[in-house]
């Protein structure tokens, strides 16, 4: 039996290969920023993306994902005396209030509640100090090599705060957006709380930009304005992170609009079951590539399927027969139809 098959699908739309990283700031100053593609994690554009800075409340997405991944998400907890030390953005919870942790996560992401952050930390980590250790361990797991967390909120009046980079924060957001519960909470525009009325999301793009699907705001005097946004149009999903950008909402929208107008995401394998020629192929994640629209008239998807090695190699092939390897998928199961 011949295990190596070459299968071609000719695209009718105008598509091309992603250009090298640009350094365009859309007329708005940003001290540090990145544009990252969600599926691959490829960095499309950046400026000083490894610059370490205090990052303020955008670090709360780490607090949120640890709560979501814990066994305590739907548990009721009692707000304790830890909130007495809180300053700045708050849900204004009263000590002794009983509330579910998932509701605190909504307050954390939508309203940036520092009281929600410390309450989550104490009840998920056992203590705030142990929770901070969890934050730093998770950062290492994700690959955030230039990040050190000092607290669950991002406050930096009494120390250096949470120090990270725009690139590391994009890695964190990418990780979080792979979690369905985080994604659902983070894109919420308004949430009716059982303890404190209705909370509206502070992130203006989530409220007003049709393609925005998640993000987090932040500000301290030391960090200046910090912002993370995820947006999706058709199959193309992007993450933009800015540190110290005064007109950050406009900056993010401009980046999204540029890439959505000029690039296309081409899927090779969907997560789950795929049918390629006579094979049913099951993979545990999506495989694809972001490509620039105007470079070539026709490109070809090329698959090399080898059931003996449980592998599918994927290529993008051009008119001149040159090619780019998109990836190698480890297949869970092969089945001949």
Is 60 a residue of the active site? yes
- CB-based contact 271:284 (threshold 8 Å): yes
Is 112 a residue of the active site? yes
- CB within 8 Å of 15: residues ≥ 6 apart: 264, 266, 291, 292, 293, 295, 296, 299
Question: What φ, ψ does residue 24 adopt, rounded to 5°?
Answer: -105, 130
- CB within 8 Å of 44: residues ≥ 6 apart: 18, 21, 22, 35, 36, 37, 238, 259, 290
Total residues found in the chain within this entry: 337
Task: Select which of 47, 60, 204, 233 is catalytic.
Answer: 60
Q: How far is CA 223 from CA 51, 74, 250, 291, in A?
A: 12, 33, 19, 34
Measure the CA–CA gap between 208 and 228, rounded to whole angstroms: 15
Measure the CA–CA gap between 41 and 284, rounded to whole angstroms: 16
DSSP 21: P
Task: Select which of 40, 57, 89, 164 is catalytic.
Answer: 57
Task: Select which of 32, 54, 112, 164 is catalytic.
Answer: 112
- CB within 8 Å of 197: residues ≥ 6 apart: none
Active site residues: 57, 60, 112
């Amino acid at each position: 039996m011949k295990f190596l098959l070459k299968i071609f699908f000719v695209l009718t739309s105008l598509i091309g290969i992603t250009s090298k990283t640009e350094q365009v700031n859309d007329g708005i100053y940003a001290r540090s920023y990145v544009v990252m593609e969600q599926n691959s994690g490829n960095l499309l554009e950046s400026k000083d993306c490894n610059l370490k800075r205090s990052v303020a409340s955008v670090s709360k997405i780490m607090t949120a994902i640890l709560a979501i991944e814990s066994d305590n998400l739907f548990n009721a907890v009692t707000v304790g005396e830890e909130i007495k030390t809180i300053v700045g953005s708050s849900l204004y919870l009263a000590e002794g209030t009983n509330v579910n942790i998932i509701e605190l996560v909504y307050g954390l992401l939508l309203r940036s509640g520092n009281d929600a952050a410390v309450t989550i930390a104490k009840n998920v980590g056992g203590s705030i100090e142990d929770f901070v250790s969890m934050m730093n361990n998770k950062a290492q797991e994700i690959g955030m090599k230039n990040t050190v967390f000092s607290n669950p909120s991002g406050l930096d009046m009494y120390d250096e705060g949470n120090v990270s980079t725009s690139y590391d924060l994009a890695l964190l957001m990418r990780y979080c957006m792979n979690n369905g519960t985080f994604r659902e909470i983070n894109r919420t525009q308004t949430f009716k709380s059982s303890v404190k009325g209705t909370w509206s999301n502070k992130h203006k793009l989530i409220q007003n930009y049709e393609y925005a699907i998640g993000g987090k705001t932040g500000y301290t005097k030391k960090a200046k304005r910090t912002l993370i946004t995820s947006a999706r149009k058709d199959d193309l999903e992007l993450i933009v992170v800015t540190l110290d950008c005064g007109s950050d909402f406009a900056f993010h929208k401009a980046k999204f609009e540029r890439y959505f107008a000029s690039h296309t995401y081409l899927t090779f394998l969907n997560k789950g079951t795929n049918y390629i020629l006579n094979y049913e192929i099951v993979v545990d994640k999506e495989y694809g590539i972001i490509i620039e629209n105007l470079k070539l008239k026709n490109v070809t998807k090329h698959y090399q399927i080898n059931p003996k090695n449980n592998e599918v190699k994927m290529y993008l092939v051009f008119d001149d027969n040159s090619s780019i390897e998109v990836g190698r998928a480890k297949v869970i199961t092969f089945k001949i139809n």
